[in-house]
Structures are given as structure tokens and as C-alpha cells.
Amino acid sequence: MTRRQRRKWISAIALGGLLFSQFSAPWLYAANLTNNDAAFRARVYIRPGQKGYDAAKPKEFKHKGPQALNLRQDNSGYTATPIKHVILIIGENRTFDHLFGTYTPPAGQNVWNILSEGIVNADGTPGPNSALAQQWQATDTTTFSNSPTKTTLYTNLPDMNTDGAPTVAHFSTPAQAELIEPALPLTDYTELANGGTAQPGHQVDTRFPSPLPNAPIDLNAYISYDDYASSPVHRFFQMWQQTDCNVGNSTTQNPSGCLNDLFPWVETTIGAGSNGAAPPTPFTDQSTGEGSTAMQYLNMAKGDAPYFNQLAQQYALSDNFHQSVMGGTGANHIMLGFGTAVYYANSDGTPGTPPSGQIENPNPQAGTNNYYTQDGYGSTATKGGGSYVNCADATQPGVGPIQAYLAALPYDVFNGGNCLTDAYYLVNNYNPGYLGNGTPAPLGATQFTIPPTRQQNLGLLLTKHDISWHYYGEGWDNGTEAGENGTFCNICDPFLYSTQIMTNPLLRANNEDIENLYSDITNNTLPAVSIVKPDGYLDGHPASSKTDLFEGFCQKIVTMVQSNPAVWANTAVMITFDEGGGFWDSGYIQPIDFMGDGTRIPLIVVSHYSQGGRVVHTYYDHVSFDKFVEANWGIETIADNTRDNLPNPVAHGADPYVPLNSPAIGDLMDMFVFPDDYSPQVASRGSHAAKKQAMVDLPKKQAMADVLRSHG
């Protein structure tokens, strides 16, 4: 049945050009990119003689196991399932339809994508139901609306733009790339030396036709899978508008009323934000440097993303996993680590008030159509770059309309929106409160750094129960963040925001580099819980990276795990993305609280217990990973106000995508098929002992949940 319904940081990846030498220290040019996530802290190679050089010593990769971390006893092996180790790999910025839009599952399985919905044909041409993806223009000239008044359908979509995609590849040769980048299979280094656009940035991309039809755009028809392409806006208020959620549009199959029909309009009217400045003159549909980038998709039916296709055919794929926050990288990684959003805090941890120029104001500037008053990645010139929202106060710009929409839903959202009084929550990308060495990061009106937080998080919860964990961030380089040409993603590491972790050397040591992960896999020294982040070259982020590079990053890890029988026997590798990156998607969105959810993103689970090519339809988001960890190791939730307190979904068999008990998110147990005779193993110490019965009862509860999902 058819349904209707930066960067963050681009550190200083020199999208304009990188200079390398085999005989001298490599370094980076910072690019001035108006439509990419901010280059928050400039990361450059530290040369001999420069301040800080002593800290930039050659990497030493030492496993820091439970004994080194002074755990009272290692409870990592006491689990409710045969999974003793989980590795979560997080890429960047691809929706489910953008990556799996033309995926065909094994016989007996079904999937919700633009091919199955008849929106496109396998060859990339518009399908019989292509009208379901048509995009609208709208008007919003006075007060922000999450569902602006639509005016007319696009006759043709705005032209594609090169955005910040590199004119030439980041490296001249594969050998040059291999000197810097350790995290690819040897056969994949050519991908780092190929794929430049051969055009300047921020102009109409001549690789694409003009005009473009009002339909999803098959990248495979115009460029190679190994080519760089543009990146759409992925910010908080922009995504609320793009998804066009209005209870007036609600149906049984789409109770949230999100139509996903304003993507190009938002990216061409405001794009990545104003930083408090006036719009450029003249202002056209190319002024934001995006055009209709949001409507791009990779065509798996024509050979794109072959490794992810192979994994999905062989293991388990979710077609109902969502980014947990509307918007971009920082807030979604924070939600994964904390189970909730993080607010601007005073030194004692209580909510504080950020500088005025850092507070979001998405109301349109006078005389404009949707060009926000204060929003962006940060400008020292205007002292603007709004990213904080006091979402408990309906009088704050942008807050009232979203609150009114949530209140009108046919179910009660989590904790009434889950916003503390007088708390300004970070909804976009700012630097974390700590540098990698534990030093507090500089604060101020032009620093665009969130102060350290004392909110509870997953790392603290695991430590409390003596369960081992690591965050493996490529480029960590012993806390200097200087590895791989300084392409470590600081805003992606949720534990860099935490006072309790970053001021405790033993807990801070849970941050490690990618070579530590390789060593731990090889030596059977993996912690129970691993979160893995590639660097900026390999994370798959549009414009600065490519999906084939992220595939190679994942393939190296999966191959290592499968090559070690002892590790493969009890390890699950989960591959997902931080958010959809602003790309369009056709799937259902379940609003949970003020922050989101947002669009669907892919999730693949590779495990001895996830074989068969199943497509799982249970509703999930990032915090489902936290729920899996808690269920598997038999521990409580992160805090009383975190999303891991939500129930598992109960859904009708005829429509497994929409929870009947909203808001609800699953615990990922449906991604596995465990043996009936497995006996949960339980720790005997302290608070773990109190979890015995819950762990023993888990398989029974899961079986009952399965029955409820099947029979509605």
C-alpha cells in the first residue's frame, strides 16, 4: 500500500585543497565554506618548534582494559544474550531512502523505500507514484512556522549546486593517502585520490541537467559512485520545516502528519543559516549554495553502495531507524551518549543563559521569505550563530509553533516535550566543553563552545556497573585530536562534553584511537561496549567524504571481527549514521519530544545471530542503542528524563512501522534471533545482583513483545 505522508565541524578538511609532502609535515588549509558545518576549532598539524609540539608525540596504542581502568570487578561478560561485545560504527548524513532507496531484499522480506512505494523505478526514472515525492514552495514572512503555508508545487526543482564538494580529490595519489589514513582496506586508497568535481565550489553543478524534474534525483545517472557531491542543510529548525509536520495532515498510517515536502524550499531560502547577517543581494535559489541537493539519492539497484547491499542481504537491516534529533551531527551524537539533549550549564551544572548571539531566532528577517534572524554556525564578525533554544518557554522564537504541534498530536509526547524550565538546549553544532587532554575549552560570545555538562550519560552508567566501554575516535591521537591531519570529529564524541569523564584521567582514558580498536579486535581485548567514529575523510559526509569511503572503513572492521573466531562468536557490529544530513526520505516520523525524532537513517546489524537478510520494521532511534546496552547487560536507564525510559513499541501486524503506544522506541533485540536455550549470565555483585530477575525474564518479555507486534 502506498503511504503519503556543518559541518558540524568540517574541521579543516581542505575541501578547497590539501597540500601534502612525503618529506615534510603535512598540513591543511582551512576552507571558507558558507554551506558546511563550521570549522570550530582549527586543527592543523603541529610542527617542531611550535607551541604544543611536545603534546603531539607519535601515537602509542595501548589497550586500557578493566584492570587499567581500575574497575572494581569486570562485569562485562554478564549478559542477557550471547552478545558480549557490541561495536557501534557511526557514519555521516545519509537517510534510508538516500542510501537504500532502490534496495531489494531477499525473497520473503519487504522494505519501505522509494522503489517499493513506486516513487522511482529501479533504473532511476520516476515511478507510477512519483507524485508522492513532489516538493512544494511556501511562504513564511513574519513568524517561524514548522508547517509554513504552501503556495505552489515546483514545476522544476532548483538547479543542483557544487556546494563545498572538492574541485580535486583530497590526495593526489593512493600512496599519498596511505601515508596519512590508516583505516581503509589496501585496495580502497584510490578512492581518496579520485572523484573531484572539476568545478569551483558554490556554483551550479554542470554535471547535472537543467531543468531538474520535481522528483528524487538519481545520482547514478549523472556522476560516478566514487564522485564527490554536494551536502544539504541539516539543522534543527530547518528540518522541522522540511518535514512539514502538521496534525491536520494526520492519517491512520501517518498520525504525526509529517509530509516531508519542503526540502528544497528550505535549503534555498535559508540553507545553513544567517549567522545574524542580512541575506546576500541579489538573493536567488543558488545563494545558499545548495539548490536541490536534498533530493539526491544513490541507486543501489544500479550498483551503488555494493558493500552495504551485501551486508543487508546477508545480515539484518532496519528500515525504521531514525535520527533522534531534528538537525545535525553534534546534537544527535549527544542524544546517543546522554539519552537526552544537553543544555548550556553554569559551573555548578545548573541551567545558565548563553550569549544572546548564540540563541536561536528562526523568525524571518523583515522583508524576507524564511531567512532566519539568528541561526548559523558562528560568526565572529556578527557575534551570531544561534544554536541554543529555551524550549520550555513558548514565547521564545520558534518554540511556540513546535509546542503547539506536539500538544495537538493524538498521543502525549515524552515528558511534555522534555524541556527543563529556563534551560537553553544545544540543538546544532558547537564545540564540546573539553579538549581531548581534559582542559576546559575556551568559552565566550565568539567561541561557539558549549560549557561542560554534569548531566548523566551512558559512559558513567557503564562505569557505575563495572562494564567496560571505549569511544574509538579516529584521529584522537592520545587526546591531541591531531591525528590523520587533524580530521578527528570533536563534536561527535559525546564524552568530550562530560565533566565527570573528562576531569577523571581513568574515565578520560576510555577515549581511544582507531588503531586501539584494531589491536583490541586482534588481541581479544574488546570492551563490552564500543562506539566507533571515522575521521573526516572516511565518515561518508557529503561534500567532504563519500559513501564508498565509509563502506571501506566499515569493511575493514567487519573483516577483522569475522577473521577472529573468538570475537565473531559473541560480537555484534552495528553500522548506522548520525543523521540524514538533510536528504529527503519517504518514511514515517514519530515525534517523541521537542527535539525529534527526525528522518529515517540506515541501520545494519552484522552478527552470528543476525543472519538471513531480514528487514526489521520495529521503530527505533539512536537511543535504542542505549536501550540495547541496558537490556543486554541488565542495568537501569541513564536518568529519569532520558529517552531510554520509553517502552518498546507495540505495533499492528498490518502496519509495523507506527507504534500504537507512542512515543515508543525499540531496544534492537528484534535485530537478532537468539537460541531458545541460551541462559542469561548475571553478575553477583551489588546493584548487578538486583538485576538478576530482570535479566532472566528478558527473553520472556521479548517473546511477549514479539507476539504483540505480530498480532496487534
Distance CA 209, CA 5 (A): 28
pLDDT band at 21 (very low <50, low <70, confident <90, very high): very low
673-695 pLDDT, tens digit per residue, is 999 888 777 654 444 433 434 44
219-234 pLDDT, tens digit per residue, is 999 999 999 999 999 9
370-395 pLDDT, tens digit per residue, is 999 999 989 999 999 999 999 999 99
Q: What is the DSSP letter of 492?
A: G
pLDDT band at 696 (very low <50, low <70, confident <90, very high): very low
77-89 pLDDT, tens digit per residue, is 999 999 999 999 9
Give pLDDT, residue 147.
Answer: 98
Distance CA 98, CA 323 (A): 14
423-439 pLDDT, tens digit per residue, is 999 999 999 999 999 99
Query: Taking all residues of the chain, what is their mean pLDDT, rounded to a whole number?
Result: 88
Distance CA 607, CA 572 (A): 5
105-129 pLDDT, tens digit per residue, is 999 999 999 999 999 999 999 999 9
Name residues whose C-beta falls within 8 Å of residue 369's C-beta, 6 or more positions apart in sequence.
Answer: 139, 140, 141, 269
Task: Give the mean model confidence (pLDDT) for residues 127-136.
Answer: 98
Give pLDDT, residue 534.
Answer: 98
601-626 pLDDT, tens digit per residue, is 999 999 999 999 999 999 999 999 99
Residue 59 above 60 pLDDT? no
CATH, domain range 18-711: 3.40.720.10
Residue 27 above 70 pLDDT? no
Which ranges of 348-455 would DSSP assign to H, the alpha helix? 399-408
Task: Give the mean model confidence (pLDDT) for residues 526-538.
Answer: 98
Name residues whose C-beta falls within 8 Å of residue 280's C-beta, 6 or more positions apart in sequence.
Answer: 287
Task: Give the mean model confidence (pLDDT) for residues 295-319.
Answer: 98
76 alpha-carbon distance from chain centroid: 27
Question: In this predicted structure, which of 37-41, 207-211, 353-357 has the lowest mean pLDDT?
Answer: 37-41
Distance CA 698, CA 686 (A): 20
104 alpha-carbon distance from chain centroid: 24
Distance CA 239, CA 258 (A): 11
Task: Give the mean model confidence (pLDDT) for residues 475-489.
Answer: 96
Give pLDDT, residue 51.
Answer: 35
Give pLDDT, residue 71.
Answer: 58
Distance CA 541, CA 228 (A): 10
Task: Give the mean model confidence (pLDDT) for residues 659-678.
Answer: 95
Convert 648-657 to b/e letters by CB count within 10 Å (16 or more is b): bbebbeeebb
Residue 706 above 60 pLDDT? no
Give 35 or 280, the one with higher predicted confidence: 280
Residues β-bridged to residue 343: 425
Give pLDDT, residue 711.
Answer: 31
Distance CA 143, CA 146 (A): 10
Give pLDDT, residue 682.
Answer: 61
Cβ atoms 646, 664 nearer than 8 A: yes
Question: In this predicted structure, which of 200-204, 263-267, 413-417, 684-688 has the lowest mean pLDDT?
Answer: 684-688
Share of the chain above pLDDT 90, in %: 84
Give pLDDT, residue 325.
Answer: 98
CA nearest to 243, candidates 323, 346, 340: 323
Give pLDDT, residue 683.
Answer: 54
